Amino acid sequence: MPPSPSLPHALVTGASSGIGTDIAREYARRGKPLVLTARRLDRLEALAAELGKQVPCTVLAADLADPAAPEALFAQTLGRGIFVDTLVNNAGFGVPGRYLSADWKTHADSIQVLLTSVAHLTHLYLPAMEAAGRGRILNVASLAGLVPATAGHTLYGATKAWLIRFSETLDQESRGRGVYVTALCPGMTYTEFHDVNGMREKVSKLPKGIWLTSAEVARQGVEAVESGRVRLVTGRSNKLIAGLSKYLPDALARALLASKAKDFRDAD
């Protein structure tokens, strides 16, 4: 199905795999035209071929580790006359191991993808949403942003905690102008993320009951932002973990999580 610039679109970053792919599928199921972006053009084109039977799809390959990428994406959608009324900030970046096990360029790229590009894309697309009096921003955060810190993956939980607070503040600022912002906080989710960061063997030892499929996480996330929920933790087990982390004394919560962290975090 060819792109229809006159129709409001959902722009999904990190759409080439995992939660991003399934968020795109969920919006396509709801009849929402899509702008799909990620680094891997071949995967984006395959997804567009699949979803293009349901909704108009535009493919824009971009690497959000490049500081110029948000402006380039915005210019391309603007140039095509596409109004983005739904922004899904989903692109991921994991750096396993302790902080000094990776070089600064790797850490800088992770901050660019997980934090700076999110703030930048939001700053670019939000004005038109507010001007139209409608919009949705879905920020894919993590349970890691709500629980005590553990050794390993040093910047991941910190950036996700920032993303949650950013989403909550932005929602308060923009809700009265018709734009709802949601922080989606999944726990363990079946995606290739753990293969990419080399943690598949470790996380596979975790109980199966705490895992959700990316399709289920995507469905819950889209429902949350469309209904105006500010924050959503997916899955009963994850809700329990988040609740215990909130109400247990800090020292006890940190000790409990640290004792289990070796099962899902590489701190070497």
Q: Give the model confidence (pLDDT) of 198-228 as tens digits.
A: 454 444 555 555 668 999 999 999 999 999 9
- Contact criterion met (CB below 8 Å) for 145 and 157: yes
How do residues 90-144 score in pLDDT, each as one tens digit? 999 989 999 999 999 999 999 999 999 999 999 999 999 999 999 999 999 999 9
Is residue 244 pLDDT above 90, yes or no? no
The pTM assigned to this predicted structure is: 0.86
Query: How far apart are the C-alpha atoms of 36 and 19, rounded to whole Å?
Result: 13
Q: What percent of the chain has pLDDT over 90?
A: 71
Query: What is the edge-to-edge ordering of all strands in the sheet holding 84-89?
Result: 57-59, 34-37, 9-13, 84-89, 135-140, 179-185, 231-233
Listed in sequence order, the residues at least 6 apart from 164 whose beta carbon sits closer than 8 Å to its beta carbon are 139, 141, 145, 146, 183, 185, 231
Three-state secondary structure call for residue 130? helix
Confidence of residue 7 (pLDDT cuts 50, 70, 90): confident
Listed in sequence order, the residues at least 6 apart from 59 whose beta carbon sits closer than 8 Å to its beta carbon are 36, 37, 41, 44, 45, 48
Whole-number pLDDT of residue 260? 56
Three-state secondary structure call for residue 35? strand
Whole-number pLDDT of residue 258? 58
9 or 187, higher pLDDT: 9
Whole-number pLDDT of residue 194? 44
Whole-number pLDDT of residue 6? 67
Query: How far apart are the C-alpha atoms of 52 and 27, rounded to whole Å?
Result: 12
**Chain mean position to CA 194:** 15
Nearest to 7 by CA among 22, 28, 26: 28
The domains of the chain, with CATH numbers, are: 9-261 (3.40.50.720)
Mean pLDDT (the chain) is 88
Whole-number pLDDT of residue 151? 78
What's the length of the chain? 268
Confidence of residue 262 (pLDDT cuts 50, 70, 90): low
Q: What percent of the chain is helix, strand and coil (3-state, nearest 5)?
A: 55, 15, 35
As annotated, the active-site residues are 156
Provide the 10 A C-beta neighbour count for residue 57. Answer: 25
Whole-number pLDDT of residue 147? 86
Q: In which region does residue 137 sit, left (phi positive, over 0), alpha (psi from -120 to 50) or beta (all else)?
A: beta
Q: Which residue has the tokens 């975790």?
A: 206
Is residue 265 pLDDT above 80, yes or no? no
* Ranges assigned E (strand) in the chain: 9-13, 34-37, 57-59, 84-89, 135-140, 179-185, 189-190, 212-213, 231-233
How do residues 37-86 score in pLDDT, each as one tens digit? 999 999 999 999 999 999 999 999 999 999 999 999 999 999 999 999 99
